[in-house]
């Protein structure tokens, strides 16, 4: 488009009902469309090709993350100036592509997210359980990254040449969305959100696999949080347990006069809860200081901020 080479990437898994329309509409805004066929069993790839897309096939289904890794490798190979990624199921509005590309092409941002949850954004017919799930995941992710992103789960994203070159991720599933954000943050890439509307009134609208996806992503977010802020994740509940154990112990001791039984039951429970609380606090403390020590070492020895 003009002096920039802009490519759209569509991860695709059995989307024959919608892929034709998506490819045709997206081609109005980019130079080329690459569809990663992630081991589909339907005729989506043939339809996409006949509508003008370039197809990259995975022999077996790898997952959303796997599809995005192939897209990024292809974009690096093609030396594009910008890559815009959107889903193949018709949930994203191709007419918003210029809105996502603008901050990229002006150099203002390296990574732009089409967001449902900022001013001007929205979602049609979004199931309440999805909204809640995404809010919980986003809150957990922001706790560990301090990024303050409103919509970490939107599949509608754009990337600059620098982001395409520098971003690296391992995840093969939907948790890639968080890994990508963290990697961009660690590499000081400029991240921005622009408003868009994501639809759920599409043929394959939200299905319950989304719950298992959501669960995987939430576990990833919690693990990352426990690595980044062990004192918060382990220390705080540990302290809570320890306090509960102590309260129960005092209660049991109070009950001594009644009978020995009173001592054994609640007494023992109080002890193991207290000990568990102490252990969690200690682990949180050790992990936090280990993390800080390694960080300082990296900064001092290798100047890695």
Ligand X SMILES: Nc1nc2c(ncn2[C@@H]2O[C@H](COP(=O)(O)OP(=O)(O)OP(=O)(O)O)[C@@H](O)[C@H]2O)c(=O)[nH]1
**What are the residues binding Mg ion (CB under 5 A)?**
87, 89, 91
Could you say whether residue 11 binds ligand X (CB under 6 A)?
Answer: yes
By CB under 6 A, what part of segment 140-179 binds ligand X? Answer: 155
Structural contact between residues 194 and 202, judged by C-beta atoms closer than 8 angstroms: no
We find the least distance from the C-beta atom of residue 12 to ligand X, in angstroms, to be: 5
By CB under 6 A, what part of segment 67-96 binds ligand X? Answer: 67, 87-89, 91
Could you say whether residue 41 binds ligand X (CB under 6 A)?
Answer: no
Could you say whether residue 117 binds ligand X (CB under 6 A)?
Answer: no
By CB under 6 A, what part of segment 187-246 binds ligand X? Answer: 206-207, 209-210
C-alpha torsion sign, points 226, 227, 228, 230: positive
Residue with smaller CB distance to ligand X, 176 or 249 = 176
Residue with smaller CB distance to Mg ion, 29 or 156 = 156
Residue with smaller CB distance to Mg ion, 37 or 87 = 87
Selection from Mg ion, ligand X, none that 258 binds (CB < 5 to 8 A by kind) is none
* Candidates 25-33, 62-70, 231-239, 246-254; binding stretch for ligand X (CB under 6 A): 62-70
* Candidates 9-17, 143-151, 184-192, 253-261; binding stretch for ligand X (CB under 6 A): 9-17
Could you say whether residue 133 binds ligand X (CB under 6 A)?
Answer: no
Residue with smaller CB distance to Mg ion, 38 or 81 = 38
Which one of 54, 61, 142, 283 is in contact with ligand X (CB under 6 A)? 61
Selection from Mg ion, ligand X, none that 15 binds (CB < 5 to 8 A by kind) is ligand X
We find the least distance from the C-beta atom of residue 199 to ligand X, in angstroms, to be: 10
Could you say whether residue 37 binds ligand X (CB under 6 A)?
Answer: no
Structural contact between residues 178 and 141, judged by C-beta atoms closer than 8 angstroms: yes
Residue with smaller CB distance to ligand X, 87 or 179 = 87
């Amino acid at each position: 488009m003009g002096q920039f080479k802009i490519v759209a990437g569509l991860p695709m898994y059995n989307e024959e009902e919608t892929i034709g329309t998506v490819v045709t509409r997206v081609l109005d805004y980019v130079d080329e469309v690459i569809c990663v066929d992630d081991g589909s069993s339907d005729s989506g790839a043939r339809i996409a090709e006949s509508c003008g897309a370039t197809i990259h096939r995975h022999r077996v289904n790898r997952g959303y993350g796997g599809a995005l890794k192939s897209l990024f490798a292809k974009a690096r190979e093609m030396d594009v100036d910008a890559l815009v990624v959107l889903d193949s199921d018709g949930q994203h509005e191709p007419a918003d592509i210029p809105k996502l590309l603008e901050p990229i092409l002006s150099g203002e941002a390296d990574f732009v997210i089409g967001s449902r949850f900022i001013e001007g954004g929205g979602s049609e017919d979004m199931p309440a359980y999805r909204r809640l799930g995404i809010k919980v995941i986003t809150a957990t992710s922001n706790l560990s990254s301090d990024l303050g992103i409103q919509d970490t789960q939107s599949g509608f994203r754009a990337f600059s040449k620098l982001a395409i070159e520098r971003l690296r991720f391992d995840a093969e599933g939907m948790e890639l969305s968080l890994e990508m954000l963290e990697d961009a943050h660690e590499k000081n890439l400029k991240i921005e959100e622009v408003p868009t509307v994501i639809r759920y009134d599409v043929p394959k609208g939200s299905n319950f696999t989304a719950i298992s996806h959501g669960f995987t992503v939430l576990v990833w977010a919690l693990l990352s949080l426990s690595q980044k802020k062990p004192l918060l994740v382990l220390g705080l509940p540990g302290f809570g347990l320890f306090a509960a154990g102590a309260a129960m112990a005092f209660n049991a001791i109070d009950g001594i006069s009644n009978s020995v039984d009173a001592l054994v039951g609640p007494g023992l429970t109080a002890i193991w809860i207290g000990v568990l609380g102490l252990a969690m606090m200690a682990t949180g403390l050790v992990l936090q200081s280990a993390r800080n020590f390694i960080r300082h070492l990296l900064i001092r020895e290798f100047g890695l901020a």
